Homo-oligomer: A and B are copies of this chain.
Amino acid sequence: MAMRGNVLIAQGGGPTAVINQSLIGVINECKKFREIEKIYGAIHGIDGILNEEFVDLSQETSINLENIANTPSSALLSTRRKASHETCVEMFKVLSAHNIKYFFYIGGNDSSETLEIILQESKKANYDLRCIHIPKTIDNDLVLNDHTPGFGSAARFVSQGFVGINLDNKSLGGVYIGIVMGRHAGFLTASSVLGKKYEDDGPHLVYLPERDFSIETFVNDVKDVYSKYGRCIVAISEGVCDSEGTPIAVKYCKEIERDSHGNLQLSGNGLLGDLLAHYIKNGLGIKRVRVDTFGYLQRSFIESVSDIDRMEAREIGEKAVQYAVIYDMNGSVAIKRIGDYDIEYRLEKLHLIAGKTKTMDESFINRDGNYVTEAFLKYCKPLIGRSLKEPYVLRAPKVEKILAKK
């Protein structure tokens, strides 16, 4: 028998292109249940609870909800704040005052950990609260999930981005290094290869945080590719570490910033790229070396979104409400793959997901640790969606030389 009461929805962590699909999925599904009275949104995640900053989502129009579903980045705004025993005590006062019986938290790794703390504290405090975590993360690093909403769209941007980069680099030559987001998991960096079509297309080298990174090996790898194709495109994760586990970007950086979860700030600076370019220029004497840090473009680009990701992000919000209201359960809604390709949902215990990090399976990385395998391509291709733009090449025959120059 489901509890009567109000619903609170919040969004936490780094935004994605489809995070509002899940928000709208929750809102619309809630409207189907008589037990649910009001549907509130907390502004800036759990900060919004502490500050009693709620909006009444029941008063949105259906048209605007659909428009927001297609708008990237958290419509309810986000936070990186963690929950503690003390903040939970404060939060329960607010939740109780507003008769909140259901709490849906859309977020990644850190948000699931926060929700697990809230759930445990609510039990201790005898505050009856359904807590459902709705996954989203472009890092794709939640355990017990085939993949997570938000990843597919970011992977589409990275993949389509490298299609253009490859064409650009092909026309003018040299070495190109693209730094892709991903602290511990290389999924997004690995997705850089999904748009490859012709034999000599880049990226030719892919470096993932799952494997130790050595500048010496890197320079040699680039040398090999460059001598084969006269050019080289590298996709590298911002989180690559040396054999002692120190991020390469950090090794050479004096001022390092950490967020409240203890995560180092690896995005939003050009350090790693400039370092790698330096070694290629000086080590190999290649003059044209270009580096871009894909940065924040990749997680909320409005014109490159996976249709599959969009659908799944919507559904997972709907399923979250069903688990809470119909089944009266707490947990994290996880995605399981069935067939080739479809998915189904299952509710996992929060503590099994919270704060854990999934990294790329060994079978997804080649032996040399500088590229991905066919198994990864098969895994990842469906996620970036359909109607991808494809490049084409001229097939015109060469004209016979008359002056017989070389």
Q: Which residue of B lies closest to A391 (CB)?
A: B71
**Is B296 in contact with A293, judged by CB distance below 8 angstroms?**
no
How distant is A70 from chain B, measured CB to nearest CB, in Å?
A: 7
User: Which of A67, A71, A267, A294 has the most C-beta atoms of chain B within 10 angstroms of its own C-beta?
Assistant: A71
Residues of B within 8 A of A269 (CB): 270, 273-274, 277, 291
Whether a CB of chain B sits under 8 angstroms from the CB of A401 is yes
**Is B268 in contact with A271, judged by CB distance below 8 angstroms?**
no
**Is B97 in contact with A402, judged by CB distance below 8 angstroms?**
yes
How distant is A34 from chain B, measured CB to nearest CB, in Å?
A: 21
92-133 of chain A: CB within 8 A of chain B = 93-94, 97-98
**Is B14 in contact with A172, judged by CB distance below 8 angstroms?**
yes
172-209 of chain A: CB within 8 A of chain B = 172, 176
- Which single member of B61, B73, B291 contacts A171 (CB below 8 Å)? B73
Residues of B within 8 A of A243 (CB): none
Whether a CB of chain B sits under 8 angstroms from the CB of A399 is yes
Q: Which residue of B lies closest to A295 (CB)?
A: B292
**Is A268 in contact with B297, judged by CB distance below 8 angstroms?**
no
Whether a CB of chain B sits under 8 angstroms from the CB of A59 is yes
**Is A257 in contact with B287, judged by CB distance below 8 angstroms?**
yes
Residues of B within 8 A of A228 (CB): none
**Is A160 in contact with B302, judged by CB distance below 8 angstroms?**
yes
A52 to B257, CA, bound (A): 55
Residues of B within 8 A of A391 (CB): 71-72, 302
Residues of B within 8 A of A14 (CB): 168, 172
**Is B302 in contact with A398, judged by CB distance below 8 angstroms?**
no
Whether a CB of chain B sits under 8 angstroms from the CB of A301 is yes
Whether a CB of chain B sits under 8 angstroms from the CB of A146 is no
B interface footprint on A53-69 (CB within 8 Å = 1, 0 otherwise): 11111111100100110
Whether a CB of chain B sits under 8 angstroms from the CB of A163 is yes
**Is B292 in contact with A68, judged by CB distance below 8 angstroms?**
no
How distant is A300 from chain B, measured CB to nearest CB, in Å?
A: 4
Given contacts A74-B171, A171-B15, A273-B269, contact A394 B302 (CB under 8 A): no
**Is A292 in contact with B268, judged by CB distance below 8 angstroms?**
yes
Q: Which residue of B lies closest to A402 (CB)?
A: B97
Whether a CB of chain B sits under 8 angstroms from the CB of A396 is yes
**Is B271 in contact with A270, judged by CB distance below 8 angstroms?**
yes
A56 to B52, CA, bound (A): 70
25-76 of chain A: CB within 8 A of chain B = 38, 40-41, 51-61, 64, 67-68, 70-76
Residues of B within 8 A of A292 (CB): 268, 293-297
A55 to B257, CA, bound (A): 54
Whether a CB of chain B sits under 8 angstroms from the CB of A285 is no
Residues of B within 8 A of A271 (CB): 270, 274
**Is A396 in contact with B59, judged by CB distance below 8 angstroms?**
yes
How distant is A312 from chain B, measured CB to nearest CB, in Å?
A: 20
Q: Which residue of B lies closest to A290 (CB)?
A: B268
**Is B268 in contact with A301, judged by CB distance below 8 angstroms?**
no
23 CB-based A-B contacts, threshold 8 Å = A11-B171, A14-B168, A15-B167, A17-B164, A68-B392, A70-B392, A77-B171, A78-B171, A78-B172, A79-B172, A94-B405, A97-B403, A160-B301, A163-B302, A165-B297, A257-B288, A268-B292, A269-B274, A274-B274, A292-B296, A292-B297, A303-B304, A304-B304
**Closest 4 pairs (CB-CB, A-B):** A270-B270, A268-B290, A292-B295, A73-B167
Q: Given contacts A163-B302, A164-B296, A270-B274, list 6 more A-B pairs with CB under 8 A.
A: A52-B401, A59-B397, A68-B394, A257-B288, A290-B295, A303-B388
Q: Which residues of A contact B (CB under 8 A)?
A: 11, 14-15, 17, 38, 40-41, 51-61, 64, 67-68, 70-80, 93-94, 97-98, 160-161, 163-165, 167-172, 176, 255, 257, 267-271, 273-274, 277, 281, 287-297, 299-304, 388-399, 401-403, 405-406
